[in-house]
Amino acid sequence: MTKTDPLKTEFCSLVGCDYPIIQAGMGGVARWELAAAVSAAGAFGCLGMVRESADRIRSEIRAVRQRTDRPFGVNLIPAATPPQLFAQELAACIDENVEHIVYFWDVVPAAIDAAKRGGCKVLYQVGSVEDAVEAEAAGADVIIAQGVEGGGHVHGHVTSLTLLPQVINAVKIPVIASGGFADGASLIAAIALGSAGVHCGTVFVASEESFAHQIHKERIIQARETETVHTDAFAINWPPQSPVRVLANKTTQCLNDRLWGYSDQSFPHDAIAEEEGRPVYRFSTDSPLRSMTGELDQLALFAGQVTGQVNEIRPAAMIVDQMIRHARQRLKQLGFDDVWREE
């Protein structure tokens, strides 16, 4: 008897990938090298293109397509991008026939509508049941439910495994779990709760192909799960009250200790690094990239609590492969090895 493979979820059928693992579109970090490697490995890669120029977006999309014909997405953040730039970014994606747009932060119904009219499927990462319902009502095809343990900007208030079943109960479209996923066992846990897959950021920052600076990757593989902080310290570039989860460093420590004496509104534009002549400010949302120099360990070292489980820098394809093997091994241990037939 052939039964359905539990790892072939409705998300895989919807977008055409083999495995229900979505690599988060991370600004600066997730460029063509990473997105192409993840998609070529059978999972779903995503370009992190927040506030990038239309030209940059076009060239990144083309670079992915030169390396793979597998499906991928482009991540944009309507609520944290000036409207004119956002319109140019989306127009570039539509011109390039991008099939999947992944949005994050506050739900902007007009942005969903514009992408749908351009022929794209819309995945929306949200942090609450209310936002999931709003995104579905505005036409989103997939909800990504982000828990508070995730790395980078955090819209969630509760853990991903707490939020996930509540979002699943509230919407009819597929829901993907985000925050805290880096191995196959946690993928099985999410699927057991009704998720159509997992969305992973931190584990892919520590991939060979990510554009993160080596300093960032090494901090992630060394850090324990207790070493992240949820903070408003990195505020320049984003709307107010946009907390992030990062690895603790001198910047977060000093702010916590109130040694700087700054109020939320008065973050000084104190350049501590640079990227090709552009100053990078201490309290900006820039994370250290390969192209930067300066006091990089004091920038925003975005990482989720799952950092405690990420202990080596691996090729992205190996991350995907090991997650899937681990998931199948866990299914077998649970006695589900005979319920589907692998191709």
Q: What is the number of other CB atoms lying within 10 angstroms of the CB of residue 32?
A: 22
Residue 306 touching ligand FMN (CB under 6 A): yes
Q: Sheet harboring 292-294: ordered strands across?
A: 278-281, 271-275, 292-294
Tokens of 77: 């953040």
Nearest CB to ligand FMN, comparing residues 77 and 111: 77
Pairing of strands 142-146, 271-275: unpaired
302 forms part of the interface with ligand FMN (CB under 6 A): yes
User: Which x/- pattern over 258-287 shows residues binding ligand FMN (rule: CB under 6 A)?
Assistant: -----------------------------x
Contact between 115 and ligand FMN by CB under 6 A: the answer reads no
CB under 8 Å to 261, separation ≥6 — which residues? none
Residue 298: CB minimum distance to ligand FMN, A = 16
Asked if 174 interacts with ligand FMN (CB under 6 A), we say: no
Q: Binder to ligand FMN among 25, 71, 197, 243 (CB under 6 A)?
A: 25
Task: From 1-9, 130-138, 174-182, 184-192, give the range in contact with ligand FMN by CB under 6 A.
Answer: 174-182
Nearest to 87 by CA among 96, 72, 76, 97: 76
Closest to ligand FMN by CB, 25 vs 197, is 25
Site string for ligand FMN, 40-79 (x = CB under 6 A): --------x-x------------------------x-x--
Q: Minimum distance from CB of 244 to ligand FMN (Å)?
A: 9
Angle, to 10 degrees, between the axis of helix 109-117 and the axis of helix 129-137? 40
Please check whether residue 200 is in contact with residue 310, taking contact to mean a CB–CB distance below 8 angstroms.
Answer: no
As a whole number of angstroms, the distance between CA 295 and CA 273 comes to: 6
Q: How far apart are CA 103 and CA 21, in angstroms?
A: 17
Q: Does 104 bind ligand FMN (CB under 6 A)?
A: yes
* Pick 9 or 287: Cβ nearer ligand FMN: 287
How far is 104 from 223, CA to CA, in rounded Å? 26
Is 27 a binder of ligand FMN (CB under 6 A)? yes
Task: Report the DSSP beta bridge partners of residue 271.
Answer: 281
Residue 179 is a binding residue for ligand FMN (CB under 6 A): yes
**Residue span binding ligand FMN (CB under 6 A) among the ranges 4-12, 58-66, 194-202, 234-242:** 194-202
DSSP state of 129: H
All residues at 6 or more sequence positions from 278 whose CB lies less than 8 Å from its CB, including other chains: none
- Taking CB under 6 A as the criterion, the residue among 45, 73, 150, 174 binding ligand FMN is 150
* Listed ranges 111-119, 151-159, 163-171, 311-319: which one lies at the site for ligand FMN (CB under 6 A): 151-159
Which one of 20, 45, 71, 151 is in contact with ligand FMN (CB under 6 A)? 151
DSSP code at position 341: -
Can residue 81 be called a binding residue for ligand FMN (CB under 6 A)? no
Q: Mapping DSSP to helix (H, G, I), strand (E, B) and coil, where does residue 229 land?
A: strand
Q: In angstroms, what is the minimal distance from the CB of 111 to ligand FMN?
A: 13
| Distance of closest approach, residue 150 Cβ to ligand FMN, in angstroms | 3
**With binding defined as CB under 6 A, does residue 178 bind ligand FMN?**
yes
DSSP code of residue 105: S
Q: Residue 322 burial (CB < 10 Å; 0-12/13-18/19+)?
A: middle
Measure CA of the first residue to CA of the last residue in the chain; give whole Å.
Answer: 14
**Which residues make up the interface to ligand FMN (CB under 6 A)?**
24-27, 29, 48, 50, 75, 77, 104, 125, 146, 150-153, 178-181, 199-202, 205, 287, 302-304, 306
